[in-house]
Amino acid sequence: MSVVLHVSDPHFGTEVPEVVEALARLAGQLRPDLVVLSGDITQRARAAQFQAARAFMDRLGAPLLAVPGNHDIALFDLWTRLTRPYAHHRAAFGDDLEPVFATPGLMVLAVNTTRAHRHKNGEVSARQIGRVAEQLARATTAQLRVVVVHQPIEVARAQDVHDRLIGHRGAQTAWAAAGADVVLGGHIHLPYVMALPGLPRPMWAVQAGTAVSRRVRPGVPNSVNVLRWHADEGVCTVEQWDFAAAQQAFVQARVTPLRPAR
The pLDDT of residue 174: 98
Task: Encode pLDDT of 40-95 as tens digits.
Answer: 999 999 999 999 999 999 999 999 999 999 999 986 666 566 677 999 999 999 99
The pLDDT of residue 82: 64
* Residue 120 in this model has a pLDDT that exceeds 90: no
Residues 6+ apart with CB under 8 A from 119: 70, 75
> How much of the chain, in percent, has pLDDT values that exceed 90?
94
The pLDDT of residue 29: 97
The pLDDT of residue 79: 58
* Residue 119 in this model has a pLDDT that exceeds 80: no
Give the pTM: 0.96
3-state secondary structure of 96: coil
* Residue 123 in this model has a pLDDT that exceeds 80: yes
Cβ atoms within 10 Å of 75's Cβ, excluding its own: 13
Return phi, psi of residue 7, to 5°.
-115, 135
Nearest to 107 by CA among 231, 213, 253: 231
> How much of the chain, in percent, has pLDDT values that exceed 70?
96
Q: What value does the mean pLDDT of the chain take?
A: 96
Task: Encode pLDDT of 202-248 as tens digits.
Answer: 999 999 999 999 999 999 999 999 999 999 999 999 999 999 999 99
Which amino acid, residue 186?
A: G
Nearest to 243 by CA among 209, 207, 197: 209
* Residue 143 in this model has a pLDDT that exceeds 80: yes
